[in-house]
Amino acid sequence: MQINVTLNGASLSSDVEARQLLVDYIRGTGATGTHIGCDTTSCGACTVLIDGTPMKSCTMFAVQANGKSITTVEGLKQNGELHQIQASFKEKHGLQCGFCTPGMMLTSAALLEQNPEPSEDDIRWAISGNICRCTGYVNIVKAVQHAGEEMRKS
């Protein structure tokens, strides 16, 4: 089936099978920052933004993204500059192996759009669908708080 999507700002027109999962479609374009962790809707590694809202791309079909704007981790960086959430994950060591990081940053970026000054509870609640096996979350929370502070300054 023919679909038209905007992926990280670029218009794409593709022919996909109805059962193709969105995550595989995205990875097939070369944007392999979107990870497949569990493939059973449980971990959030495959999180992307669909029209700005974080969702699990292993649990949508590519055809369902027709007409939508998709943002993946590759789309966070703008004009050669890291998005503040990326800079803050780096600054605060908000990652270890990095497998959860793309999903974690997209969910956090969406949170900061809605709530520029989240409390620790707000952050922990917002990322509760994104599982990290390495960090214990402490530095992830710090990174999101740091990003919020920096974004409020500018």
Partner 1 sequence: MYPAAFAYSAPETLDEALATLSQEGESARVLAGGQSLIPMMKLRLASPAHLVDINNISGLDHINSANGYLRIGALVRHNDIVNSADIAAHNGAIASAAPWVADPLVRNRGTLCGSVAHCDPEGDWNSVMLAVRAEVVAQSAAGERVIPIDDFVVDFFTNSLEPGEIVTEVRIPKYTGKGGGAYLKLERKIGDYATVAVATQLQLGDDGKISEAGVALTAVNNKNTRATAAEQALVGQEPSDELFKEAGALAARAAEPESNVRGTAEWKRNVVSVYTRRGLEASLAQARA
Least separation in angstroms between residue 142's CB and ligand FES is 14
Look up residue 132 and give its two tokens.
Answer: 């990290």
Residue pair 139/147 in contact (Cβ under 8 Å)? The answer is no
Residue pair 140/127 in contact (Cβ under 8 Å)? The answer is yes
CA-to-CA dists, residue 92 to 57, 77, 140, 145, angstroms: 27, 18, 8, 10
Look at residues 134, 75, 138 and name the one whose alpha carbon lies nearest to residue 105: 75
- Indicate the SS3 state at residue 61: strand
Least separation in angstroms between residue 38's CB and ligand FAD is 9
Q: Which of partner 1, ligand FAD, ligand FES, none lies near 153, with the C-beta cut-off 5 to 8 A by kind? A: none
Q: DSSP class of residue 60? A: S
Site string for partner 1, 67-106 (x = CB under 8 A): ----------------------------------------
Per CB under 8 A, does 66 bind partner 1?
yes
Per CB under 6 A, does 42 bind ligand FAD?
yes
Closer to partner 1 by CB, 52 or 93: give it. 52
Residue pair 129/107 in contact (Cβ under 8 Å)? The answer is yes
Per CB under 8 A, does 54 bind partner 1?
yes
d(CA 59, CA 43): 11
Interface residue with ligand FAD among 41, 64, 119, 128 (CB under 6 A) is: 41
**Residues in region 9-28 near partner 1 by CB under 8 A:** 17-19, 21
Give me the residues that bind partner 1 (CB under 8 A), please: 1, 17-19, 21, 39-41, 44, 47, 53-56, 59-61, 63-64, 66, 107, 125-130
- Return residues touching ligand FAD (CB under 6 A): 41-42
